[in-house]
Amino acid sequence: MSTEGNSPDNGVNVSVNPDDRGNANLIYILYLVGLVVGITGLVGVIMAYVGKDQAPEWLKTHYVNQIHIFWKGFAYFFVGFLLSFIVIGLFVLLWALIWYIIQVVRGMQALSRGQAMAKPAGWGL
């Protein structure tokens, strides 16, 4: 796989350059993998913090979105975990999982179209 990001043979755009959309795409992928592995979400948010200052303005909205996804997702999962001792927490955890996946997919779709995120700091859908 090419680290440049514009590999014509597979269509996957992954890069470690913060100025490139492939880096933001890699962070979204790390977030999805983080649902299974866990630690990759933390790696992704660190990459987002590092990359947001060097990125062009439209791409900066994706880094801000990724930072918000991580911390809000963490808050949703934490509250859901605390409330899981009563039945309502299971519903909160389910909501958090659905919200997290939707936010990551929306970000990936906007990134693939080359668009900035409309509301990167929103709490809902």
Does the structure show a pLDDT above 50 at 5? no
Half-sphere exposure of 102 (CA within 13 A, CB side): 10
Q: How many domains does the chain have?
A: 1
pTM over 0.85: no
Range of the domain at 54: 21-113
Question: Helix (H, G, I), strand (E, B), or coil: what is residue 10?
Answer: coil
Instruction: Provide the CA 105 distance to its chain's centre, in angstroms.
Output: 8
The overall average pLDDT reported for the chain is: 82
Picking from 50, 76, 61, the residue whose alpha carbon sits closest to that of residue 107 is: 61
User: pLDDT tens, 36-79?
Assistant: 988 999 999 999 999 888 888 889 999 999 999 999 999 999 99
In a domain? residue 123: no
